[in-house]
Amino acid sequence: MTKMTIEEMTRDDLTAMILRAKKRAGLGWSEIAEKIGMSPVWTHSAATGMNAFPEDKARAFANLLGLPDTVMDLLTESPLKVWDQAVPTDPCLYRFYEIVGVYGPTLKALINEEFGNGIMSAIDFSMQLEREPNPKGDRVKLTMSGKYLAYSNW
């Protein structure tokens, strides 16, 4: 099999390359993020093409995982954030859709009540994931912080 040139490589091809390199390196996302100075959530989202790495972080990431220099353009390229709108069957991903489906209108109403008619930005945004010990079984704690953006009236 011939090697693919960078011109032929898609973002999906790069994601597959990254996941193989991560497995070979034996590193978790938290370890990778710590070594390049980013959060685990951001690192994973950029590694899978949903965000673009800043050039210095892309270089550190590529070096850490032994990726070729030819991937730098794809790592730093502005993403096309398109995803399948069908509800996924993976239980973990499905639950996130369920959370938005059940609580989305409530969160929207509470944001509007607290801040006014607007949204929480997913551009000026951060998210952290933590393990929260609990005698009934450890819990997943997600903290999301997004800038409030008011709708303009014109």
Which residues participate in catalysis according to the annotation? 95, 98, 121
Alpha carbon distance 14, 78 (integer Å): 14
Alpha carbon distance 150, 74 (integer Å): 33
Amino acid in the structure at residue 56: D
Alpha carbon distance 60, 84 (integer Å): 30
Alpha carbon distance 14, 12 (integer Å): 5
Of 23, 81, 26, 24, the closest CA to residue 48 belongs to 81
Phi, psi of 62, rounded to the nearest 5 degrees: -60, -45
Alpha carbon distance 147, 141 (integer Å): 20
